[in-house]
Amino acid sequence: MFLLENLDAKRSSLVDHLISFKVISLDETEDIKAQTTTSKANDKLLSVLSRKSHQQFQLFLDALDKCELQYICSKIVGRFVNIYAIKLTSVTAYCCKQFCIEHIEV
């Protein structure tokens, strides 16, 4: 629920960053932006992200940082690492992705 309520796939620059980082395709972007509400767009984005690799999930975390959505990134990775002390490894990113998939209704 946290991500559904706090992401803003319709108005923030997050989706644009995900395109530039090659995490999501233009078709996926169109599907996300076509949603009628922010909640539905967030749901669609999370659904798309759940099918991405853990390397792409790391890029999603990087995009959150670039969009000044660090509080969301901190919430996701907070139980695994102190993001200010060490850089995320792909193993940690994988664990974070699994946590999101298991604990967020998509």
Q: Tell me, what's the pLDDT at 97?
A: 62
pLDDT above 70 (res 106): no
Give the per-residue SS3 of 28-80: HHHHHHCCCCHHHHHHHHHHHHCCCCHHHHHHHHHHHHHCCCHHHHHHHHCCC
49-77 residue pLDDT tens:
988 988 898 899 899 988 888 888 878 77
Measured CA distances, 94 to 40, 54, 60 (Å): 25, 5, 12
CATH number at residue 57: 1.10.533
Q: Tell me, what's the pLDDT at 83?
A: 41
Domain with 15 in it: 2-103
Domain count, the chain: 1
More reliable by pLDDT, 81 or 27: 27
pTM of the predicted model as reported, rounded to 2 decimal places = 0.73
Mean pLDDT of 16-38: 95
